[in-house]
Amino acid sequence: MNEGGNAEGVAYKLPKGREREELLLVWRREMFSEGYQAKWVEVHSNAEVFRAITFVANPSATSFVGELTPEIVADRLRKANGPLGSGLEYLSDTIHHLKMVGLRDDLLDTIKHLAEVGN
């Protein structure tokens, strides 16, 4: 997404009185390295508009590679493994959880297909 763009997604309302505690959990998970930047955004949900914090890729991070073709992303995900599983498992879980909340991302579906068939 380019600066000033938009995206579909899910916003979570934090329990009243626990906002700081809950946000700290997410902050520790997402902000442990330079990979993300926290940004305040305006969210439009039905007739409601509110501000929310989101985490976006940090283009200044040394790990930021910019835009890659779906084929390159699929190849990297197919080869990637870590202590919590493979890159392809992570992608499959992401697609599954998006579907659970009624969202679909054609690009992620394409990348998954390419990774499964080996480009």
**13 DSSP 8-state letter:** P
55 & 72 share domain? no
Mean of pLDDT values over 71-81: 95
Q: Which domain holds residue 5?
A: 1-59
Q: Are residues 49 and 75 in the same domain?
A: no
Same domain, yes or no: 30 and 50: yes
- Give me the pLDDT at residue 5, please: 73
Tens of pLDDT, residue by residue over 52-73, are 999 889 999 998 998 999 999 9
Which whole-number Å values give the CA distances from 12 to 26, 52, 53, 56, 77, in the listed order? Answer: 12, 9, 10, 16, 28
Query: 51 and 76 share a domain?
Result: no
Quote the pTM value.
0.76
DSSP reduced 3-state for 47: coil
The number of domains in the chain is 2
Sign of torsion over alpha carbons 7, 10, 16, 19: negative
Last residue of a domain, one of 42, 59, 76: 59
